Amino acid sequence: MAKANPIQVQKFLSGMDYPANKEELVDHAKSKGADENIMQTLEQLPDDDYETPADVSKAIGHIK
């Protein structure tokens, strides 16, 4: 399955309080009804703290 577009992912991260770690991002997206593709993309993120939505989008861009 292809990774999700960062813009699609950001839709499910709206209202997220930053900084946030990967687990918090995954939980927030799940609570917003993210589909399987979005969830799989977030699960592939490095276990880092993300300061801004742009940091999340940048990390998604580095997923192979």
Q: For 10-61, how does the pLDDT look when each residue is reduced to its tens digit (9 = 90+)?
A: 999 999 999 999 999 999 999 999 999 999 999 999 999 999 999 999 999 9
Give kind and range of the element (H or E) at residue 15: none
User: Among 28, 36, 23, 61, which residue's Cα sits nearest to residue 12?
Assistant: 28
Instruction: Read off the pLDDT band of 1 (50, 70, 90).
Output: low
Full-model pTM: 0.93
> Taking a C-beta distance cutoff of 8 angstroms, is the pair 16, 9 a contact?
no
Q: CA 24, 32, 9 angle in degrees (round to 5)? A: 75
Distances (CA, A) of 64 to 19, 59, 60: 24, 10, 9
Ordered by start, the domain boundaries in the chain are 6-61
36 against 2, higher pLDDT: 36
Question: What is the per-residue pLDDT for 21?
Answer: 98
